[in-house]
Structure 1
Amino acid sequence: MTRTWTPLAITYLVLSLVGLVATAALNVWSVVVARDWFADLFAGGPAVGSIGVDLLVVAVAGSILIIVEARRIGMRHAWLFIVLSGVTAFAFTFPLFLALRERRIAENSHPTPRLAGPNGR
Structure 2
Amino acid sequence: MRQNRQLAAVYGLLAVIALVLTWSQNLAYFGGGGGLSVFPAFLRDAAVNPASRSVTFDIALVLYAAAVWMVFEGRRRRIPFVWAYVIGGLLVAISVTLPLFMAARELKAGATPEIEGRPGLLDGVGLGALAILVIGLCAFVFRQTGG
Question: If the length of structure 2 is used for normalisation, what is the TM-score?
Answer: 0.66
CA positional deviation for 1:33: 4.6
- Counterpart check, 1:93 vs 2:97: yes
Aligned positions of 1:1-121 closer than 5 A? 6-33=5-32, 36-43=41-48, 45-109=49-113
1 CA distance for matches of 2:107 and 2:27? 32
The equivalent of 1:114 in structure 2 is none
Amino acid at match of 1:86: L
Q: Which residue of 1 aligns with 2:136?
A: none
Which structure shows the bigger proportion of residues in helix conformation? 2
Q: Count residues with an aligned counterpart.
A: 107
Distance, in Å, in 1 between the alignment partners of 2:90 and 2:51 is: 23
Runs of 5+ consecutive residues of structure 1 not aligned to the other structure: 110-121
Distance (Å, rounded) in 2 between the aligned partners of 1:107 and 1:73:
11
Once residues 5 and 24 of structure 1 are traced to their aligned partners in structure 2, the CA distance between those partners, rounded to angstroms, is 28
Write the distance in 2 (CA, Å) between the matches of 1:94 and 1:107.
20
Larger relative contact order (CA 8 Å, sep ≥ 6): 1
Task: Tell me the CA shift for residue 5 of structure 1.
Answer: 5.7
Aligned residue identity for 2:7: L
RMSD of aligned alpha carbons = 2.1
Deviation per CA, 1:60-81, whole angstroms, max 9, x where unpaired? 0000111000011111220011
C-alpha distance in 2, partners of 1:90/1:98?
12
Query: Which stretches in structure 2 are left out of the alignment for 5+ residues?
Result: 114-147
